[in-house]
Structure formats: structure tokens, C-alpha cells
Structure 1
Amino acid sequence: MEKTLEKNLNVSILMNELKKDNQNMQNTMKNIKDISMKSNILALNSGIEAARAGDAGRGFAVVATEIKKFAEDSLNASNESEDLINRIQNKANEIMAVRTVDVAYDTIDKIDRNLFERNCDVQAWATFDAIKESLLNSSNETKQAAEALMENIYNIYEVYFDLLVVDINGKVVAAAKNSKQVGKDVSNRTWFQKTVESNDVYVTDLYYSDVVEGYTIGYSSPVRNNAGEVIGVFTTRFNWEYIYDIIERVKIDANSHLYVINSEGYVIASKNREEILKKSLTSLQAVQQILSGKETRGYTIEDNSIYAYSLTEGYNAYKGKGWSVIVEETIV
């Protein structure tokens, strides 16, 4: 996929060069058109003067007629050339747009695959014996064993702010990193309630957490006993900064922009960190297409820019959160 993005970038550069050459050709054709129009005026004036000269001007009148015919033919050719140049320009825009849609799709696909792994992580870790024992046979020893396991996971995976074990009453019984969370009551949190009620994995949208002091996504899985009954919740806090490993590697033109937006149209990732959860793109036709459910992938041309978009398709069991990638590329 990396090679695909590199190839797409080369296509974008070549198309921009083609469009610049096409623009230069268009300017040249305008100059030729101006010359043709001036020649036509010159021929008209020459014909008038030849008529005034009578017999003496007949030879000059023939020349004036030929100049007029040449000017008209040249003007017609210029008009046809302008139409052709415009068609080439539009076709180049279409090729760039299709290429940019590919970039948007590749980016959201990579994000989905990364988050799918986080979805798998929380489900797998919720089945570990040390986690279950800390809930079934709560004691200092079982809690310490659970925390030792979680700390090891935390150090190996590196992409999490924290890992927590919560009992069925909503009390935090163990934490991988922030021990101050142990003993807190989280029974009123949506992620806890949804996980217990559904007996299934619950994934939050992106939000800023004062506890971990960063943008995060919470993945929560029910912890079950051998009879399949929910005895608690295992929950993780993914460090959103690691998604920028994907964003920063996307090869787009220096003047282009890439945004990840949530299901409400707010930016949740871009190269400008200040825009996260503050900038809305709902005014764009491209975003309106996505939010309306009319199209999941495509492009619009607005304000002399191409806006390519691709809605998440999820990956395997991870269905996604309704996020999309928008790529803006200026039309030269």
C-alpha cells in the first residue's frame, strides 16, 4: 500500500505539471486568437481602403480578402483549440480527483486496521486468568498479579495511556499505570454501562481525557466467568498520537490537506493539532454527501479545490465509528 501511495503522489505531480503546461498552451492560444482578431480588423480596414482606391486598389483588395479568410480560419482553429484545452484540463482534474480518492481510502483503511487491532486487544486481555481472578477472588495478591500483567502489556505495546480492571459494581480494582484510579467509582460512565448491558465490546468516540491528559479512545470488554456471566469490565485508553504515524506518512502535495472527521463532521486528526474537535467541515459538499448517507466514497470540486472523501468500512469484526478521511487538493 505504501508503494501505491508513492505511485499516486507521482501521478499527482505529473498531472499538476501537465495542467501547468496546458495552462501555458491556453495562454499561447489566447495570444494567437488576439493576433487573428487584429488581422481580421486589419483586413477589414484594408478592404475599405481598397474600395476607396477604385481600380488602383483591386490588387490590394484581393490580398485583404485572403488576409480576412486566413484570420477567420485562424480564429476558428483557436476556438477549437481552446475547447480541446479545456477538455484536457477537466480530464486532468478528474484523474487527480480519482487519485486523491484512492489516498483517502488508503488512509481510512490503515486507520481501521490499526483500530481493529485495538478492538482485538481488549477482548483477548479480558480473558486472561490473572484479570478474571482479580474479580472472582479479590485479594491483594490477585490484584497485584493483575497489575503486574497489565504493566507488562502496557510496556510491550506502548500505544496505550492506561489499562484498567473494573468490577461489576463499577469500582476500579487494578490499573496498569495510574494507581490513583484504583478504588474510583465509574459505574455512571457510559462506556461501563454499555459494556455490561450489551455483554459486548464498547468503543467510545475520540475525546480529550483529563485523567490521561490526551486525546484517547476507550475500548471496553466484558470480563466473564466460566458460565459466561459478566463479572466486570476490562478497559483500555488508546493514545491517539499513534494514529499520526499513519497521517504523517501519507504522501500528498505540500499545499494539500488531509483531515480525519468523526460522524458529526468535526476534525479528529489533521497535521494541525489545534483543529482537533474544534474545526467543523460540515459546510463542504463532500462532507454533506457523507453525512447524508448518499455516498461513501467520491469527490467534489469546490472553491477551486478537489475534496476527495472516503467513509470507514471498518475491518473484520471492527465496524468503525462512522469516521471519514477528507483530502483537499488545490486545482492549479
Structure 2
Amino acid sequence: MLGWKKNKENLDKKAAYRPLENETLHNIQNGNELSLLKHNQKCIVTRINDKIEETGFAAENLISLTQDIAKNAEIQKESIEKVVNEISNYSALAEEVFASTENSKRIAEQTMEIAREGSNAVDSSISAMNEIELSVQNAKKVVNDLSLKAAHINEMLAIIKDIANHTNLLSLNASIEAARAGEAGRGFAVVAQEVKNLAQRSAESAGHISNTINEINNSIDETIGAMNKSMDKVLEGSNIGKNTKEVFNNIINAVSTTSEVAEEINAAVSKQTESLENIISSTEEMNRTSEKVMGMVETASLNTQYTKTSLNILSNVSKDLQSISTKLLDKIETDEKAELVLTTFLSEAPLSYDPQLAIDTQSGQILYNVHGGLLLISSTGEITPGIAKSWYVEDDNLTWIFNLRKGAKFHNGREITAEDVKYTYERLLRPSLKSPNSWFLEQIEGAKEYNKGIAQEVKGIKILDRYRVSLKLTRPYTGFLLNLGQYVCSILAKEDVEKGNLTGCGPYILESTEKDRCVLTAFNNYFGGSPYVDKIIVRFEGPKSIESFIDNKCDFVTIDNKKQIEELSKVKNLDIKYKSIMGTYYAGFNLRSNSIFAKDNEIRKALNLAVNKKKIIDEILGGLGEEAKGPMPPNMVDNKYLSGFNYNQRSAKEILSRKGTLIGNSKLKILIREESNETIFYKITQSIINDLKEVGIECTLEKVSPDKYLNPESINRSDLFLSRWISDTGDMDNFLQPMFNPSNFTDFTGYNNPKVTEMMEKAKEIVNPDKRIQLYKELQQIIVDDSPWIFLYHPQLGHISREGVIGVRISPLGIVRYEDIIIEK
């Protein structure tokens, strides 16, 4: 709405919300149009001057960066020269290795020949041992036979001894008989005596022979023992010979392998030598390229300095233009400028006006326009200077230094200092605040310890002086600067926060809030330049937005559904502009519940197949969306590689039929907001219920108020809930971490896959964009396979504004920057 008034203090508050009357429009066109032009001219000149100054900051950063590149290029050149020298030395060493492997090869061949001769000698030795073993066994057999014969001789000697004893007895008897015979028996007595002597000598001889035989037996036993030992030694020698042969065989095999390896080494070294020559050639080329880079860096440095000089001149011209323009405008007499007021709509009321607690899109739309941080996100989604005019990272690639603008002010008029940055960031991380957004700063050293209450301050946040602050990270993180540009990291005035007032430093001041609207008033001391429009009235009655626009009660509005498009189609000559948004709508499963619908992966996939996403896009959104194959939007990561879950009731029924026993009579509990049945979420819910009914799934509804919808207590009452996520930064890590890292409050489903968490942490440090995207593609595929959601669609937004209102632009994050809107007439 275009609202005008002569005196702000005397304006009837209700009049600010009324459409302009025709008579007022006529007066504006005839009397105050020049006043409007003067106002716009003044704002534009001021903003041009501010933007030139910001460009100067960027040029200074570029000069500093170019100088660093020059230094690093020089270091790189020196390093390349060292590499060339080292490679040359290594090439010579490779040639020596080649020669050594040739000598090793010859020695190996000689060793193999000697080993073969040794193996043959061992064969001969084993053969001789076998013959010795046979001879010893034969000798042992002969000695055993001798032992047996000696035993027989002993037996015979025993008989001889017995005969001698009997003969001696007979001789005694003969002597007795001869004595009885007298003279007649004397001769017989002599014979008897001789027989006795002979018997005694025989007995003595037998005794001697027996002793000798015993000695022979003892010798035989010793001989057999020695032969047994010889046999053992022969067997031992034979075994040693066999083992020696195995050793020689192993030596032969090893030498053979060594020879083969030597040949492979020769081939490898030969190829390596060729490669080294190529590397030397490449490094020499790198050296030449490095010299060219040095020249280009020097040229870039000169050009950057020229740019800086030109910007300084342009800045002076801008200041002169501002001075002349001011004088010129002062010479033009016009009526007092009326207050410029525009009216717009949000689909629903913000959940919070505290930037550190808000998590919804509606809150973001307001807070991006009320607050500012060290860095800002532009209407194109890129980083721009904010409170920090410049920044750089130190050599450790961890410590970021931010230089604050002098004179940048809070809405209360106080200058912003480095102390405010430290206070605000520590407030965001404060355990007592329990911010769901604390993860935005968790990469800062000591942030986690402070957030857990085990540290008194955040170690990595240092105040260097009044206008400089350093933030040290625990490890390199490519998305860190984008995080600092979010409204979550907006800088707040400590003295007012402690009184319950969230004083910011953005282009607009939050003047008042009501149940159905809020009012934003321009902050004329905004460091980015005063906004063109004095006041923005934001109404929270989304269903009434198009009707209000058609009835001239609204000046610009965003469009996100079919009904709005159909209503606007009745009005001729309307130019609706469309923008794809980095966001996603989904139906999330409550993975913490015990419901079979949430616990079983196959059933979750079946429900994905059962929902007709195209129907939702066509019949509810009017085509303002693209079917989701996974969580990330295609303008962030190309999703052509994903197969997704195309609508297929037949496949869904087949899976559910297999799971029929598990499902039984279970009903799916869906969480729904207590709101108008004209809202998008309500319509999507009904469409999902109808599709699930078609495949045999009955649903029940759990109703809660919109402000409590995403509370854990509410989600835990259900099996399925509807939500959306609009990217904060456009960074892939920022998009996935909130929803799939279990340590984050915004992981509403309770999804917890350690592999996904580990991969997300790894991806933060990857600098190479191609490798980073590839890792996120793998991540997304794993999440799709786990199916924690029914993936619905990625949204598009349309917007339309009244004639004479320009500068309404939707960023890829779905945000409209009110400060850029201009009323032309």
C-alpha cells in the first residue's frame, strides 16, 4: 500500500492501514511527486556513496589478497625449483638403483648356481648316509648272530662244567675203590688221580672260557649300543641332509624370486626414470607457468591498485555529487514529504522475534530486515560486507580477523564495537538460552565447551581492539562466512537485551508487533544507507493477501500456491515473476516412535511411492514446485543421478502386502496444525491422507497450535509431520546439518546415521568444489536410501507488486530485502 501523510505525529494509526483514496492519489501525482523524486534522489546518492565505500573495502581486501597471492606464488616458484633439484637428484639415484639391481641380478644368478651345487651335494650326502645306515644294520645283524652263538657256547660250557664236576666225582669214587683194592688198585688210583686233575683243568678252562665269553658278550652289547647310536646319528644326519636340501630349495626359490623381482625393479626403475624425466619436464613447465603467474599477479596487483585509485576518485566524485545534489534538492521547493508506507503479507505469524531463537521462514523474513551481522547475505544469496567492512584469514587458515566499520550504529544510536560481537556470539552459545541455532558457531574454538557450561567464555573469540575481533576455528570450514551472514548471528546491543529489548542494527526498526501484523520503520542511520520506504506494514493473514492486493490494500506480495495464481489470473496485465528457492517441503517420520510406519525402512519407502507429488504441485501449488528426489534442491546439487520415489501405487501395495502381518490394524498418526483449511500445509496433509488411503493405510490426526507444531513434545505424539526447510546460506552443509545431525534441535525426525554425520563433518573441510559436490551426492543417496522423509517438492515463489513499486526481489533463500524497494510514483 502507498501511504502518505503530512505529519507523522498526527497520523491516525488506522489510516496507515487503509488504502489510498483516489483524491489522495491525485494530490500525490500533481503535488508531491517532485517531493518523492527528491527523496529517492537523496537516498540513491547516499546509497551510491555507501556502496562505493563498500567497493573500496572490497578493493582493499583484493589488494591484500593479491599481495598474499604474490608472496605465495614466489614461495611456490622457489618450492618448484627445489622440487626440480630434488627430482634431478632422485633421477640420478634411480639410475644408481638400476645399476645396483643389475649387479644384484648377476649375484643372484651366481648364488642360485652355488645353491644348486649345494643341493646336489646334499643329495649325494643323503645317499651315502642311506648306504651307511644299511651297512650298520647288516653289521648289527652279524653282531647279534655272534651274540647268539656266544650264548650257545655258554650253554656248552655249562655242560662241560657239569661233566667235569661229574668226572671229578667219579675220580674221587675211583680213588676210594682203588684204595680198597690195595696194591691191585694202585695203578687204577694213579689213573683216577689223573682223571681228577683233567676234570679240574677242564673245569678251570671252562671257567676261563666262560669269563672270556662274558667279556665278548659285554663287548657285543657295547658294540650294539654303539651301532644303535651310529644308527641314530646316521638318521639324524639323513634328516639334516633332507632339511639342508629344503633350505637349498628355499634358497633357489628365493633367489629365483629375487631375480624376478630384480627384473621387475629394473622395469619399474626404467619406467620411473622415464616418468621422472616427464616430471622434470612438467616441473620446468610449472616453473615457467609460475613465472607467468607472477607476472599476472603483478599486473593484477597494479590493476587492483588502479581500481582502488579509481574508486577513490569515484568516491570523491560521489561525495561531490552528494554535495551538489543536496544543494540542488534544497533549491527545489516542494511540499513536505509525506511518510512512505507499503503493506505486504506473510503466510502466517513469525514464531519468534529473537534472531537467536527463531527457526521458521516467517521469522527470517522479518529478522533479515531488522537485524544485521558482521556480514550480510545479498539479494542474490552472496556474502557482502556488514558491520565488518573487511576481513581476512591468517596463515593458519583458522583465524579470521574482522575489521568493523567505525560509526556503524544500533537502533538505539550507540556505536557498534568488537565487544558487542563477542557478547552476541556468546549469548547465542549460552547454555541457558538453549538456542536451536547454536550450531551456526560450533566451529569456533571453545564454542562447544562454553555451550556445555564447562567454560566461562568462548576461547576462540578475541577482542583485538574496539574495531577488530578475531574468530579462531577448530578446523577449516568452507561455509563459515556464510553462517556469519545469517540473521541468527545478528549483533545485538547488550544493554537493551538485558532489559528484554532485542535492539538490532538493520535497515528497519521493529516498531510494533500485534497478533495479525508487525510494523517496521526505516532506520535512517543504517550503515548500508537509509531505506527508500519509511514504513513497512507486514500482515500475517496469508489467505487474504491476494484479495487485499486486488483491492489495493496491499502493495507487493509473494505467491506460493495455485489458488493465489487463479485469483490473480482474473486481473489483466499483471506481471508475475518467479524464482526457484533453495528449499524443500517434506513429511518427516518420527523415527523416535515405536510405530511400525516409522521403524520399518521398507514401509517408509512404500509410503514415499504412495504419495502423488505431482498432484500436490499441480493442484495445490499451481505448478510452483519441482518433485523432490532427495532432500537437497536441484539448484544446489544437480539431482539427475537420483532415481527418487516416483508415484507408484502398485509397488507401494506390494510392499505393504508383504508387511501386512507387521502392520496389522495400526493407524498412521499425522500431526496437523490447528489452522484454516486454506493453508498449504493443511491441503498437503489432506492430499497425503487420501493417497495413503488408496493403498490401505488409515490415518488419524493429532492437532496442535502452529506455534507448538515443531516442539519435540508435539512431534512425539505422531508418526508423521509436515515441515519445510529453506536454506539459510545456500551452502550444502548448512542445508543438511540442521536436519540430519542428531546433535541439532532442528533434526525433528531424530535421524541418526553415524556414517552420514561423519561424512558431513568431513565435507566441511573440502575446498575442491568438485570433490565436495561428489561427497554431498553420496551423502544425499544414503539419506534417500534411509528414507527418513516422504520427499515432497522443492518450492518456487512468485511475486507481484503494484505499479510504481520496484525493487521487489526474492533471493534464492526466499527473502525479500525491504531496503531495496523503491516507490517510483
Q: TM-score range by the shorter chain?
A: 0.3 to 0.5
Structure in which a larger fraction of residues adopt strand: 1
* TM-score normalised over the length of structure 2: 0.15
Over alpha carbons, which structure has the higher Rg? 2
Query: Quick one: higher RCO (CA 8 Å, sep 6+), 1 or 2?
Result: 1
